[in-house]
């Protein structure tokens, strides 16, 4: 059976801009990438890699790699998935060539995703590419064997990537009981969508905007080994800055992440107009999750006059650990019109309460700010001037 030809010509030329690629591995990874393609996300290259030829044929993803020569799947065996990926390692390497950052997405527990995703991660790291994994773990009803395989796969990936975001499918059953199974799975795919679009918003630029892009700041923040969260909070009206920041660090879908002592923090604020007090309000809301002494913290502000009264706060926190503390019964507020990318499983209020029990309240963030970027914006202003002016006025 013939394999897919490798086509790496996207018509993209790197004119001093960072280039992003999303690599969907296995059935779950392919579906996640297909979801992003259907949503029309721009500025990113999409690739699906699978041992199952039929599954690849059903996707509209522009770039496809059949792993192994048979095209019949891996039979749920991660070792087979790994072996097939290693057979096509040169093709994987060719596809990754020229990119600055790769998102690897896969469903953990099966054969191809679990076995082949670590191969893609290893190749990417050997090429010096900033590597982030966004993966799902199985439902409980899929059995203990599949869950153990998933945990082993996550463990392998964690050692290979710069940051990893884990989404337990089991949480879909608890959170989205009243929607269809297919729509619930798309909620997990949305985490990847928001993670990638958020990063592109921070780093990439619209063609009609003059931007001072600094991908090295992103690399510095993202290379703190460990788990990561990515969130986008939106709010308007009174107290909008604090509300948006707290929404950005709250997501019910993510694995149990301990939201404190983040070693890397990227914050991008987008608004038509930013009030003088709002950057400090955002910093105050985020102070409970950051390592203020040793963490690499970068702030940016993008002015977009089309935003009206709304403010967007995008947060990327890295260098986090799993939360193995006993869970405190806290009633969760209803989630309404909240669109987040990866964030912690607890609210910002709960996180702050836990932090207060462990140590004195952290002071507001005093960080060297670096302006970041977003698509379709008008004017860029350095938020550091806001933060410094607030400190001088104290």
- Annotated binding-site ranges for GTP: 27-31, 111-113, 142, 146, 189
Q: Please report, in range form, the residues annotated as the binding site.
A: 27-31, 111-113, 142, 146, 189
Provide the CA 135 distance to its chain's centre, in angstroms. 10
Q: Within 10 A of 368 (CB to CB), how many other CB atoms are there? A: 12
Q: Within 10 A of 304 (CB to CB), how many other CB atoms are there? A: 19
| 312-340 CB burial, b ≥16 within 10 A, e <16 | bbbbbbbbbeebeeeeeeeeeeeeeebeb
CA distance 342 to 191: 6
Is the CB of residue 384 less than 8 Å from the CB of residue 372? no
* Concatenated DSSP letters of 103-157: EEEEETTSSHHHHHHHHHHHHHHHTT-EEEEEEEE--GGG-HHHHHHHHHHHHHH
Closest CA to 300 of 194, 392, 221, 193: 221
């Amino acid at each position: 059976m013939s394999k897919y030809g490798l086509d790496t010509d996207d018509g993209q030329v790197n004119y001093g801009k960072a280039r992003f690629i999303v690599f969907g591995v296995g059935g779950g990874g392919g579906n996640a990438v297909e979801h992003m393609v259907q949503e029309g996300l721009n500025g990113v290259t999409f690739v699906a890699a699978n041992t199952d030829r039929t599954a690849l044929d059903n996707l509209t993803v522009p770039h496809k790699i059949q792993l192994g020569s048979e095209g019949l799947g891996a039979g749920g065996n991660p070792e087979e998935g790994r072996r097939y990926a290693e057979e096509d390692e040169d093709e994987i390497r060719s596809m990754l060539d020229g990119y600055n950052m790769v998102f690897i997405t896969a469903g953990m527990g099966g054969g191809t995703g679990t076995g082949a995703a670590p191969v893609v991660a290893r190749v990417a790291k050997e090429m010096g590419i900033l590597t982030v994994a966004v993966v799902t773990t199985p439902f409980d009803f899929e059995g203990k064997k599949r869950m153990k395989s998933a945990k082993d796969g996550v463990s392998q990936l964690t050692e290979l990537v710069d940051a990893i975001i884990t989404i337990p499918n089991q949480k879909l059953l608890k959170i989205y009981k009243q929607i269809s199974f297919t729509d619930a799975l798309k909620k997990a795919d949305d985490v990847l969508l928001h993670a990638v679009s958020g990063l592109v918003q921070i780093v990439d630029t619209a063609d009609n905007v003059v931007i001072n892009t600094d991908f090295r700041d992103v690399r510095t923040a993202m290379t703190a080994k460990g788990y990561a969260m990515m969130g986008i909070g939106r709010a308007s009206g009174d107290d909008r800055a604090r509300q948006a920041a707290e929404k950005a660090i709250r997501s019910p879908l993510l694995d149990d992440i301990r939201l404190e002592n983040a070693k890397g923090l990227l914050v991008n604020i987008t608004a038509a107009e930013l009030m003088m007090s709002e950057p400090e309000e955002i910093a105050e809301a985020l102070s409970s999750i950051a390592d203020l002494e040793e963490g690499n913290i970068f702030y940016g502000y993008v002015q977009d006059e089309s935003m009206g009264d709304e403010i967007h706060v995008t947060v990327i926190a890295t260098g986090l650990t799993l939360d193995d503390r006993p869970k405190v019964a806290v009633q969760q507020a209803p989630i309404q019109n909240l669109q987040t990318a990866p964030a912690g499983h607890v609210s910002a209020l709960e996180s702050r309460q836990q932090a207060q029990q462990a140590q004195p309240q952290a002071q507001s963030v005093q960080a060297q700010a670096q302006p970041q970027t977003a698509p379709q914006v008008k004017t860029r202003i350095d938020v550091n001037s806001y933060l410094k002016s607030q400190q001088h006025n104290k």
